[in-house]
Amino acid sequence: MNINLKVNGKSYSPDVEPRLLLIHFLRDVAGLTGTHMGCETSLCGACTVELNGKAIKSCTMFAVQANGAEIVTVEGLATNGKLDPVQEAFWNEHGLQCGFCTPGMIMASKQIIERNPSPTEEEIRHGLEGNVCRCTGYQHIVNAVKAAAAGAGK
């Protein structure tokens, strides 16, 4: 099947198998391996990307369902070598250890701040419910989201 979609501002018109998962399109066809597969069952959030402005889990969506969509992955966040404030905050606050959950965490965190520019700790934690991190215990991630929100509000 032929589809058209934009990823990080770049247009793609691939011919894909109907059963190709969006995450596999991103990783194997578009070569954007920053989006990770952690569970294949939409329970860990490692595969989170932004599709038409909404954070979604790319492991449980077919590439063909993204026909016509605009997608942003973690690779699309930094502009002209300048990190996105959320990326910067994850770095400053030590919001990652092994880094495997991080791209999904960053995408989910961006969404939290977009929906609610000054989230409370509780709101941040609930916003991150769908994303598993096995390394950090989440505390530094919560700090990172707070810091990013505070910075963005300035």
The binding site for ligand FES (CB under 6 A) comprises 37-40, 42-47, 57, 59, 96-102, 133-136
Told to check if 85 binds other proteins by CB under 8 A, we report: no
Closest CA to 128 of 151, 95, 96, 105: 105
Q: Is the dihedral of CA 66, 67, 71, 75 positive or negative?
A: positive
Only one of the segments 35-43, 50-58, 61-69, 146-154 lies at the binding site for other proteins (rule: CB under 8 A); that segment is: 35-43
In the complex, what is the shortest distance from the CB of residue 33 to ligand FES, in angstroms, rounded to a whole number? 14
User: How far apart are the C-alpha atoms of 22 and 27, rounded to whole Å?
Assistant: 9
Q: What is the 3-state secondary structure (H, E, C) of 107-153?
A: HHHHHHHHHCCCCCHHHHHHHCCCCCCCCCCCHHHHHHHHHHHHHHH
Among 6, 65, 75, 151, contact with other proteins (rule: CB under 8 A): 75
Q: What is the DSSP letter of 79?
A: B
Site string for other proteins, 105-134 (x = CB under 8 A): -x--------------xx-xxx-xx-xxxx
Among 83, 116, 118, 120, contact with other proteins (rule: CB under 8 A): 83
Told to check if 94 binds other proteins by CB under 8 A, we report: yes
